[in-house]
Copies of this chain bind each other. A is one copy, B any other.
Amino acid sequence: MRSFLGIDIGGTNIAVGVVKEDGSLVKTLSVPTGAGRATEALVKDMIDTSRAVVTEAGLTMSDISSVGIGVPGAVTPDGIVLSAVNLGWKNVPLAKLVGEALQLPVYLGNDADCAALGEVLAGSGSEHNSALMITMGTGIGGGLIVNGKIFTGCTGCGTEPGHFTFVYGGEPCGCGNRGCFEAYASATALIRQTKRAMERDLGSKMWELVDHDMDKVNGKVPFDAAKMGDETALAVVAQYIDYLGMGIASIVNTFRPEVVIMGGGICNQGDYLMVPLNETIKKYCYASDLLPVPKAVRASLGNDAGIIGAGALQMSAESR
């Protein structure tokens, strides 16, 4: 069975793992990203950590078929990072830099795409060949797997399922447009919706949960208060699930995945979120009386998904 190196460049850590062909993770190591550092320093850390993790796995570099790197940004099929805003990267020939040092072929992928690939290989999507993964965080990240490989769109720049117009002329979005799905269904959006509701209802239990400090509002607050029966919180949660379910149904109508894998802290709400969310998706899916409606499930691999998916990039490329 072949082994691969998978590197996930996160905002906090660079995580490197040895990944087997079946999606199992043999060994991982991580180093702080230290975002803002020079590209050379980051690349050196990736190379040193790669060598270290291979040794700790009891292997040598000759046992490794290739290196896959998940990048928080847009990459090209020929190994260039077009842009990774949080790293301050633009047109960085990352595959060449890492490949020359390790003397291995290097495959680049978008980090959200890699997480989706990891979940389909070894996590919540392992019974499916096709999946949409959607992660609600600061923004909305997403990846689509079709027939076991990453669907990058035709230019290889990755899909952006958070940036379709959901409310024409609506809330400003980080991308410069207005009314994107992300601006209604990200964790950031839920926090904004919660704060606005609190401003309208000074008697809401949510105020107690945050010690009357608006800055302490997070995505868990409306759920906690809703479970306590707070009417305003119940309305915030119901509205958010309607946004989220309708937006997922929108993507399902165009992509028709077999399963929708959900990531992000909001998913820790478990069935309290997932049961009504699945009802909402089914309600809004096109021709749901005739066509199969994919189920939304929680991601199961956490941060490992990105490492496993990065390691699997060569396999994804081979099956094209």
Q: Which DSSP category, helix, strand, loop or mixed, fits chain A's interface?
A: loop
Query: Are B155 and A184 neighbours in the complex by a CB distance under 8 Å?
Result: no
Work out how many copies of this chain go into the complex: 2
Among B153, B165, B287, contact of A247 (Cβ-Cβ < 8 Å): B165
With A287-B83, A291-B82 as known contacts, state yes or no: A256 contacts B154, CB within 8 Å. yes
Q: Does A316 touch B at the CB level, under 8 Å? A: no
Contacts of A188 in B (CB 8 A): none
A265-300, CB < 8 A from B = 284, 286-287, 290-292
Q: Within the assembled complex, what's the spacing in Å between the Cα atoms of A155 and B167?
A: 28
Query: Are B254 and A255 neighbours in the complex by a CB distance under 8 Å?
Result: yes
Contacts of A258 in B (CB 8 A): 154-155
Query: Are A256 and B291 neighbours in the complex by a CB distance under 8 Å?
Result: no
Q: Within the assembled complex, what's the spacing in Å between the Cα atoms of A308 and B57?
A: 55
Query: Are A168 and B243 neighbours in the complex by a CB distance under 8 Å?
Result: yes
* Binary per-residue interface labels of chain A (239-264) against chain B in the complex, 1 for a CB within 8 Å, 0 otherwise: 00001001101110111111000000
Query: Are A254 and B254 neighbours in the complex by a CB distance under 8 Å?
Result: yes
- A158 closest partner in B (C-beta): B256
Q: Within the assembled complex, what's the spacing in Å between the Cα atoms of A164 and B168?
A: 12
Among B159, B249, B287, contact of A255 (Cβ-Cβ < 8 Å): B159
With A166-B168, A251-B164 as known contacts, state yes or no: A74 contacts B155, CB within 8 Å. no
The count of residues in chain A whose C-beta lies closer than 8 Å to any C-beta of chain B is: 44
Shortest A232–chain B CB gap in Å is 20
Contacts of A130 in B (CB 8 A): 154
Q: Within the assembled complex, what's the spacing in Å between the Cα atoms of A255 and B160?
A: 8
A83-135, CB < 8 A from B = 83, 129-130
Query: Are B184 and A256 neighbours in the complex by a CB distance under 8 Å?
Result: no
29 contacts between A and B (CB under 8 A): A74-B287, A74-B290, A82-B290, A83-B287, A83-B290, A129-B154, A146-B151, A153-B256, A154-B256, A154-B257, A154-B258, A155-B258, A157-B256, A159-B254, A159-B256, A160-B253, A160-B286, A161-B253, A163-B253, A164-B251, A164-B254, A165-B247, A166-B166, A167-B167, A168-B170, A168-B184, A168-B243, A175-B287, A254-B254
Q: With contacts A153-B254, A153-B257 known, what are 15 further pairs, Cβ within 8 A? A: A74-B290, A74-B291, A83-B290, A154-B256, A155-B258, A155-B291, A163-B253, A164-B164, A165-B250, A165-B284, A168-B246, A175-B286, A175-B287, A251-B254, A254-B255
